[in-house]
């Protein structure tokens, strides 16, 4: 498992000034390696034997074309900061006079800034994507290194913008596609086995490992291969206490089939509400996906028993999971109706199902003025590059890997794991496996209503058909149920109109408008779960990470009343609108 038992971030500086005392104050328990004249220094919890520091989500070096998941290589004349294409570990940097500071955790850099300023462009982007896209961060004075790139500074131009080079990756459609189903199944089974073998090679056979098990094909397959490898596997599944959202029967079915223990982790409304603050702090950067607090609780429970936890993340991105279907339908429709009003980029922005298109309803006039010329499609350009992928499905999978995977799913999975002291291993983040999937034609990924077809066929070798072929969607969290119960008064507190007024970014009565239906039925009934959560996590991030103390609360809202009375007021208001 390497030199340290638990994950730890790295931080350092590079320039022309000795700042080792400042670095020591920031991380007093870290080991520091520095240049001959202390013009640079790097600090880590592990022993540094070279002028390069790396961090890997899995906890060990893996033989790939890259130095690690994130790295900093320093010398007297040059600084290189880089990240691998999967984006598992974030990397941030900032300039202070003639010095570049860098770290894998944004919170380590914040003490270097007198007054951190929230970036309005980043906030606009967050409202669309539910994450802040690279190279932005939520803080004006801090930037981020994009996944799959390396940034280079030369000492002669330390005050200039760095050179950015894209690292080689094979995330592009192969010129020759693999159309034989039998051959594809055999090759995929070998690659899956190889991916697991790489992930478990360093693990003691008698030490338990965890797996986050939903009962879907991805996590079930990872479980099967871990058991086959002879490891002591403990599965962890969420119990939301709401039957309609429960995945426990599916997870239990998989655990029973392999004869492994299943630990049920309570993720009730009260538990999730209590986890909002710790989750925001653990994430470091704001992430607005509704699963974050539930996954934090899941990893917190796993950390009581294991040091390494496995997941099935990236399966949807590699094998065209269900989220691709709306865009495929739109693509087919657009081909038949080329005079459609929306571009492909606009259609793709809508697939995030957040606040794209709702800007005038959610933002304050001041915020609209500051972001009106901001084009969100600029963050899509490299991902949907038609030169790399000619077919629609290949283009969607590449975009999903680079955007929803490398900028959202992977870094937040690592952040939550590291906060709980866990190394996180994602077997589907395998370079050879990923490259191979770009040989697959669409008919081996989607067959009618069946997504991930080839993965399911390959999985029949290790899983029973009732697990392989059952229909499943992404993890659903009963947030909408809780908003009218456990979360009701917390909404009035965290999204209080007076608090939102003071920030001059949001419409002050935004929560009321969303839940009451003033922003439309689709927002109230279909998108409310993740979108209200997005707002709650943004406010929690400002409190927990920035340390802001909110202003006094006002009572010009319904959330200080019992939920039934608040909903009756909304009904009365709607009736008045109809009558008028």
Asked if residue 314 lies in contact with residue 429, where contact means CB atoms within 8 angstroms, the answer is yes
DSSP code string of 483-506? HTTTTHHHHHHHT-HHHHHHHTSB
Locate 47 and state its tokens.
Answer: 């022993």
Asked if residue 5 lies in contact with residue 60, where contact means CB atoms within 8 angstroms, the answer is no
Element housing 365 (H / E)? helix 365-371
First to last CA, the chain: 69
Measured distance CA(487)–CA(272) in Å, rounded = 9
What is the reported pLDDT for 102?
A: 98
Task: Specify the residue for token string 């950390």.
Answer: 303
Asked if residue 437 lies in contact with residue 316, where contact means CB atoms within 8 angstroms, the answer is no
CA distances from 75 to 43, 450, 470 (A): 15, 52, 54
The burial of 138, by beta-carbon neighbours within 10 Å (0-12 exposed, 13-18 middle, 19 or more buried), is given as: buried
What 3-state class would DSSP assign to 125? helix
What is the reported pLDDT for 197?
A: 94
How would you label 492-526 residue by residue, b for 16+ Cβ within 10 Å and e otherwise? bebbbbebbbebebbbbbbbbbbbbbbbeeebbee
Task: Specify the residue for token string 């084009």.
Answer: 375
Q: What are the φ/ψ torsions at residue 40 (nearest 5 degrees)?
A: -145, 160
Asked if residue 387 lies in contact with residue 414, where contact means CB atoms within 8 angstroms, the answer is no
Q: How many CA atoms lie within 13 A of 434 on its CB side?
A: 23
Measured distance CA(198)–CA(62) in Å, rounded = 8
Measured distance CA(167)–CA(428) in Å, rounded = 20
Locate 77 and state its tokens.
Answer: 């004349």
Cross-strand partners of 18: none
Rg of the chain in Å (alpha carbons): 24
Measured distance CA(200)–CA(453) in Å, rounded = 26
- Sign of the Cα torsion 202, 208, 209, 214 reads positive
Could you tell me which of 8, 54, 81 has the C-alpha nearest to residue 414?
8
β strands within 255-386, DSSP E: 262-266, 308-310
Measured distance CA(466)–CA(252) in Å, rounded = 13
Measured distance CA(186)–CA(493) in Å, rounded = 56
- Mean of the per-residue pLDDT values of the chain: 91
What is the reported pLDDT for 579?
A: 67
Task: Specify the residue for token string 């309609």.
Answer: 244
Which stretches in the chain have pLDDT values below 70?
1-4, 61-64, 244, 322-340, 472-475, 579-580
- Sign of the Cα torsion 317, 319, 322, 323 reads positive
* SS3 readout for 69-101: CEEEEECCCEEEEEECCCCCCCCEEEEECCEEE
What is the reported pLDDT for 203?
A: 92
Element housing 143 (H / E)? strand 143-144
> Per residue in 408-467, pLDDT tens?
999 999 999 999 999 999 999 999 999 999 999 999 999 888 899 999 999 999 999 999
Please give the DSSP secondary-structure letter assigned to residue 354. S
Asked if residue 184 lies in contact with residue 452, where contact means CB atoms within 8 angstroms, the answer is no
Could you tell me which of 254, 219, 241, 234 has the C-alpha nearest to residue 294?
241
Measured distance CA(129)–CA(495) in Å, rounded = 20
Pairing relation of β-strands 163-166 and 149-154? Answer: antiparallel
Element housing 465 (H / E)? helix 465-468
Q: In residues, how long is the chain?
A: 580
How would you label 9-26 residue by residue, b for 16+ Cβ within 10 Å and e otherwise? bbbbbbbeebbbebbeeb
pTM of the model: 0.94
Measured distance CA(132)–CA(286) in Å, rounded = 7
What is the reported pLDDT for 62?
A: 64
């Amino acid at each position: 498992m390497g030199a340290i038992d638990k994950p730890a971030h790295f931080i350092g500086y590079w320039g022309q000034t000795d700042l080792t005392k400042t670095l020591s104050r920031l991380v007093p328990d870290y080991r520091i390696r520095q240049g001959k004249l202390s013009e640079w220094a790097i600090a880590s919890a592990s022993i540094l034997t070279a002028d390069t520091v790396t961090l890997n989500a899995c906890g060990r070096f893996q033989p790939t074309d890259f130095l690690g998941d994130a790295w900093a290589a320093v010398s007297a004349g040059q600084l290189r900061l880089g990240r691998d294409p999967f984006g598992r570990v974030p990397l941030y940097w900032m300039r202070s006079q003639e010095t570049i500071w860098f770290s894998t955790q944004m919170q380590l850099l914040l003490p270097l800034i007198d007054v951190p300023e929230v970036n309005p462009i980043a906030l606009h982007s967050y409202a669309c994507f539910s994450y802040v896209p690279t190279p932005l961060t939520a803080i004006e004075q801090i930037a981020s290194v994009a996944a799959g790139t390396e940034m280079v500074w030369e000492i002669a131009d330390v005050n200039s913008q760095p050179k950015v080079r894209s690292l080689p990756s094979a995330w592009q459609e192969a010129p020759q596609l693999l159309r034989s189903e039998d051959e594809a199944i055999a090759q995929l089974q070998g690659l899956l086995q190889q991916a697991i073998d790489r992930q478990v090679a360093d693990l003691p056979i008698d030490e338990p490992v965890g797996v986050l098990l939903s009962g879907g094909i991805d996590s079930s397959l990872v479980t099967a291969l871990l058991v086959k490898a002879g490891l002591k596997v403990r599965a962890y599944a969420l119990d939301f206490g709401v039957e309609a959202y429960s995945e426990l029967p599916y997870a239990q079915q998989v655990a029973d089939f392999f004869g492994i223990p299943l630990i049920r982790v309570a993720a009730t409304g009260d538990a999730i509400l209590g986890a909002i603050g710790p989750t925001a702090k653990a994430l470091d950067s704001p992430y607005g996906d509704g699963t974050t607090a539930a996954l934090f609780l899941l990893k917190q429970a796993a950390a009581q028993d294991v040091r390494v936890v496995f997941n099935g993340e990236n399966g949807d991105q590699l094998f065209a999971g269900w989220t691709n279907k709306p865009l495929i339908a739109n693509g087919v429709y657009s081909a038949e109706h080329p005079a459609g009003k929306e571009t492909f980029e606009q259609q793709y922005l809508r697939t995030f199902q957040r606040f794209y298109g709702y800007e005038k309803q959610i933002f304050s006039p001041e915020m609209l003025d500051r972001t009106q010329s901001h084009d969100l499609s600029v963050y899509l350009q490299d991902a949907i590059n038609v030169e790399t992928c000619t077919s629609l499905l290949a283009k969607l999978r590449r975009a999903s890997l680079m955007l929803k995977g490398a900028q959202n799913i992977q870094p937040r999975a690592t952040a939550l794991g590291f906060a709980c002291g866990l190394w996180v291993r994602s077997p589907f983040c395998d370079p050879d496996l990923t490259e191979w999937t770009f040989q697959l034609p669409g008919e081996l990924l989607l067959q009618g209503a069946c997504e991930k077809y080839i993965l399911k066929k390959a999985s029949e070798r290790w899983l029973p058909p009732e697990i392989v072929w059952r229909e499943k969607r992404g993890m659903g969290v009963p947030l909408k149920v809780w908003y009218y119960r456990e979360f009701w008064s917390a909404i009035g507190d965290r999204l209080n109109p007076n608090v939102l007024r003071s920030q001059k970014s949001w419409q002050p009565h935004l929560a009321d408008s969303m839940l009451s239906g003033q922003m439309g039925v689709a927002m109230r009934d279909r998108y409310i779960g993740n979108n209200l959560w997005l707002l709650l996590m943004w406010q929690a991030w400002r409190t927990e990470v920035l340390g802001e103390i909110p202003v006094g609360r006002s009572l010009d809202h319904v959330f200080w009343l019992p939920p039934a009375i608040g909903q009756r007021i909304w009904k009365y208001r709607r009736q008045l609108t109809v009558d008028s």
